[in-house]
Chain A
């Protein structure tokens, strides 16, 4: 313990600090608790907005309905599939690309051009219609590839990986391998990948979250509700509908009032990420590297 930690002002600061952080943390977890409380409440109370942070008229109805909803379960499975395949492809492509891009400009001529090739896509997009045309012309609609390929390379994540390689892999190791006659592929597989666990874990999580949450592509590329990933499915029930141009019947409306079911679905949908996240989180501090000193 350093001596400044024993001083009175620092002790006061420490107490205040803990209080402040606790309050902040509480504020951040508030909406989740609220969603959870609504999902366990009676539906009339939920519509009337009587539920705060504790369930009113406690019931498991919403969860029974959610579990019983075939479409929900199927979309949950679709999402799992998408996340696994999508993350695998993304990570494969990006790791392979990050390795050469992490070399210095002297070692790898053309690095700069390649880098800007990727960065450019961070800011310029062709837009919805042309992208849709490309995907349809390739015949990818209604297949998983329409969801995992177009977004496979994220330039931002690529930059994070490049920076990690650049700063965290000891050059001496690389040099030693080189002396032994290893080529780039071997160095990449034997030296870079094993050292990069924090970055791989972190970026994988980002990619997983991205795939788990994207809904728009699912909506436009899937022709059957059965193929919808979870977030697309959720979007259809969360977004309020405009009834000005709709024939309304009692049954539709009853479903509408089921705020509790929506909450249950939102919570179940958030759950996998909430479970995975704390495990990966310990890698975050090491895994996210933004920028490096100029060589």
Chain B
């Protein structure tokens, strides 16, 4: 198995080709609708991926928010490339020892699924030929690109897809490795390291969905599969491992098809609607299929090969169904899973007879209210079955939440790209590179080593600090005299945990404010357990740390008040103390902490309580 990664990280520099902020927005101000068509090129070859998507004839609706302008609407030519975003890409090139090109040519990559209003994504190759050293291994960095993010899909109805434009145009820096990764675990580590490198520039956007990976997997005998848009790093490993399993099953199917001498099936469907007239339940029931025709396709030599082999969840039947689904039908039924779904044994036998099938042959059934859709689906099923005889077809697959992937579209060809004629080439001068080279951020590997050495923090915490891009605030707060452990927990745990609305980015706290929170905690205004509540109130609009502590009910417990509170609790439980002695500590600590609620430090409370219990035992009350 060989795998390569493309890591896409959004940048917080403002959009790539206009002057909008790189922020998502919930403020929808209006919408408009468009159709896209696949433009035919000079060489008459329409890119396969493009043609495929255009064939679906969808209407695209776009929601306009306050984070989009006419450039995002494809109503105005692109502005010159965002210089800050370009600097991030070039800085990464220098950090990865890559060779920047001398002149950047912005390209248009045709994408007609509607996610780009123009029908193309602007993308530029910035540097090539770098490498990343990690855990004693060297990974080739084939390319560093800068491209526009696509609009985000908000809903999909029959024949209409709605996108919101806020995300469209946010810069993505794309770092692509060579096929040097040999396991899922390695893939995850490399992805994390590249993410940490981008965050070291200080220009990475934060939060869910701001970093996405495409994973390219090929196995011996298989072709390249691109799993597109993995958002959770920890899932990379699972996707890679399961893809390897899927390819193995498909290669076994190929071996058996070869042994049987199977050939590509004919594309001619057979109308079997009348034969299934008595089906009364399941997807083919007359009521369920809106009186659409049921079409069958013969798959000679495929009998028994459409179902999953024992010990696996992967099967060719699902691959065929994915093809049908892509053009309208909800799926298909294949002979390896029949009789079932309301189709009786006698109907299966009848179909086999009508279709003149032998014991090694299979068939599939498809229905759709629009007969041409069903026919189109079966042509695609036939083509996919023919591919199975060759092995694993190269394709793009979507990651699913359960760790599986699903067919998405053919792999795009290079025909998909042509120059963005609205933008002149961008020269990259040695002086520009020298200027960036003089202020390169520290590499994450160096930072990790230095922070671990200087602070003695645990390795995992250091990884989170550096990987999460928190190192700047961390070092500044430590420099201001706060304890490294407390600062680290504040940054990697407390701040990200502040509650927020779905889709909202993490709240941003200025350094001065975090400094004030830590200072107040150290002065005893509240305990470190109270920090999350204080942050929550600050994010909710409290003007000062004092006010936030007050709103959180954390202020006003002096050491004397604590003593009195503890004495009261001990008094109320005098009998228990007398009976259980020091063992009364645990239940009483629970009662006391419930009342203290983060207003004083837990250790301080424990010490005071132990003293109070000792006093009581030495001098039991009358």
Pairing of A with B: no
